[in-house]
């Protein structure tokens, strides 16, 4: 037995005085008004076990209970969030505690959370939740979904327990992405320029808190802009000795950094940290034609110039010019490498320039696409 009922004072008259009887009735009424929803328990989560120490008082359905012995409640799953429900005995004189995965619904008349259906219908939960992740966290039916654009947004929510899912603006993917690296040249064709990175990562944080009224605020972080395209490699000349020395493609640029998002309400806050800009990608290799003695220029890495075509068997003649690499400086999409296919001219093609990194989220204007903040009401 963990909880013992505290009985109300008797309003039986002392010495038969009507005035005394009415005084006790008023006292009982005032005590009930003050104690509705009272909870002085101080549970704590020891990791795998939740303990409710001796000495606290909690009210449920108009009955006051005193904790006469400490309650020790093993968590069925150590890393999961639990609430504590008060389970009265059949005679109502005592009660015990059980762990549950939902808090019940806020009842303003009873000033506490009660279950409105199921096994624990009409039973109260304590004003506390353990550490851990929420089981079967909601993903639809949010009480409030902030606009998914950068900037600050506010809403007024009803009282009760809330689950918040908050995402930063989108930043880079750090792994290699198909199509972003510059293509290697072959004996038949120059390398194609890589596309700018469009995929990305977010930081996602989630939390549970009790909302006691008033506004909530969400600062939505803006997405980093996509990367810019790399230039194609230049084609080797056909009118001279350029052979098949085509240029490599420039790399696409990575996505810019994603801005952090923030949520705050009633002293509770969450921060989904920023996501860094992407790593630069490498350009494609130019093709080396050993018979002609030329090598196509390598494509530039993200944000870098393409390499000029190379002559490997001596200086270039007047009729066998070197293809110039594409330029990246001051250009978003990398320039293609220059061809060397004019009349009576041969020579290797230049490498395409790399595309630039997209703008970071914090450099984007308010109203730009961004992360998200969804707030869900928790109940039965």
Question: Is 208 found in the same domain as 353?
Answer: yes
Question: Is 147 found in the same domain as 43?
Answer: no
Q: Any idea which residue has 């303003």 for tokens?
A: 108
**CB neighbourhood size of 178 (10 A):** 7
Does a structural domain hold residue 131?
no
- Mean pLDDT confidence for 267-271: 96
Question: Is 210 found in the same domain as 88?
Answer: no
Question: Is 275 found in the same domain as 149?
Answer: yes
When pLDDT is cut at 50, 70 and 90, the band that residue 12 belongs to is low
* pLDDT, tens only, 192-247: 999 998 888 999 999 999 999 899 999 999 999 999 999 999 888 755 555 788 89
For the ranges 167-176, 261-270, 301-310, the maximum mean pLDDT occurs at 261-270
Tokens of 126: 């304590």
d(CA 327, CA 205): 41
Number of structural domains found in the chain: 2
Does a structural domain hold residue 313?
yes
* pLDDT, tens only, 96-106: 999 999 999 99
* pLDDT, tens only, 44-85: 999 899 999 998 899 999 999 999 999 999 999 999 999 999
Does a structural domain hold residue 118?
yes
- Domain end, chosen from 125, 153, 175, is at 125
Does a structural domain hold residue 132?
no
Identify the H or E element spanning 188: none
Question: Is 167 found in the same domain as 110?
Answer: no
Locate the DSSP E strands across 185-275.
204-211, 215-220, 261-265, 268-272
Does a structural domain hold residue 130?
no
Transcribe 73-89 into DSSP letters.
EE-SSTTB--EEEEEE-
Question: Is 290 found in the same domain as 228?
Answer: yes
Q: Which domain holds residue 61?
A: 3-125
| pTM of the predicted protein model | 0.84
Question: Is 141 found in the same domain as 113?
Answer: no
Between the alpha carbon of residue 34 and those of residues 20, 60, 62, the distances in Å are 21, 13, 11
Question: Is 323 found in the same domain as 195?
Answer: yes
Question: Is 142 found in the same domain as 117?
Answer: no
Question: Is 198 found in the same domain as 117?
Answer: no
Does a structural domain hold residue 197?
yes
Provide the pairing of β-strand 261-265 with 215-220.
antiparallel
Question: Is 253 found in the same domain as 141?
Answer: yes
Is 14 a residue whose pLDDT tops 90? no
Residue 309 has what pLDDT? 86
Does a structural domain hold residue 265?
yes
Mean per-residue pLDDT of the chain: 86
- Domain end, chosen from 125, 151, 175, is at 125
The torsion region of residue 239 among left (phi > 0), alpha (psi -120 to 50) and beta comes to alpha
Does a structural domain hold residue 117?
yes
Q: Any idea which residue has 């996602």 for tokens?
A: 204
Question: Is 74 found in the same domain as 164?
Answer: no
Residue 330 has what pLDDT? 74
- Domain end, chosen from 125, 153, 177, is at 125
* pLDDT, tens only, 311-340: 766 555 444 566 788 888 777 888 888 776
């Amino acid at each position: 037995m963990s909880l013992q009922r505290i009985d109300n004072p008797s309003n039986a008259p002392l010495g038969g005085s009507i005035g005394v009887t009415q005084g006790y009735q008023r006292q009982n009424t005032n005590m009930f008004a003050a104690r509705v929803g009272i909870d002085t328990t101080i549970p704590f989560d020891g990791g795998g076990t939740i303990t409710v120490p001796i000495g606290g008082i909690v009210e449920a359905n108009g009955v006051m209970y005193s904790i006469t012995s400490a309650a020790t409640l093993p968590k069925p799953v150590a890393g999961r969030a639990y609430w504590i429900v008060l389970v009265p005995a059949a005679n109502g004189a005592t009660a015990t505690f059980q762990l549950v995965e939902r808090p019940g619904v806020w009842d303003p008349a009873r000033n506490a959370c009660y279950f409105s259906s199921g096994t624990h219908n009409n039973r109260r939960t304590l004003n506390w939740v353990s550490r851990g992740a929420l089981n079967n966290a909601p993903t639809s039916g949010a009480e409030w979904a902030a606009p998914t654009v950068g900037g600050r947004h506010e809403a007024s929510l009803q009282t009760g327990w809330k689950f918040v899912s908050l995402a930063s603006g989108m930043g880079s993917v750090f792994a290699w992405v198909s199509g972003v690296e510059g293509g290697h040249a072959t004996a038949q064709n120059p390398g194609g320029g890589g596309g700018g990175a469009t995929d990305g990562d977010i930081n996602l944080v989630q939390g549970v808190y009790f909302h006691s009224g008033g506004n909530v605020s969400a600062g939505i972080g803006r997405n980093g802009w996509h990367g810019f395209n790399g230039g194609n490699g230049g084609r080797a000349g056909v009118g001279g000795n350029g052979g098949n020395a085509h240029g490599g493609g420039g790399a696409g640029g990575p996505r810019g950094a994603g801005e952090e998002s923030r949520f705050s309400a009633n002293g509770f806050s969450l921060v989904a940290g920023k996501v860094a800009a992407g790593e630069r990608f490498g350009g494609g290799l130019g093709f080396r034609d050993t018979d002609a003695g030329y090598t196509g220029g390598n494509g530039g890495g993200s944000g870098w110039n393409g390499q000029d075509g190379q002559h490997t068997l001596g200086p270039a003649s007047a009729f066998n010019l070197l293809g110039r690499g594409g330029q990246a400086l001051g250009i978003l999409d990398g320039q293609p490498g220059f061809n060397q296919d004019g009349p009576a001219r041969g020579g290797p093609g230049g490498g395409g320039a790399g595309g630039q990194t997209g703008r970071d989220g914090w450099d984007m204007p308010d109203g730009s696409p961004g992360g998200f903040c969804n707030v869900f009401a928790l109940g039965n």
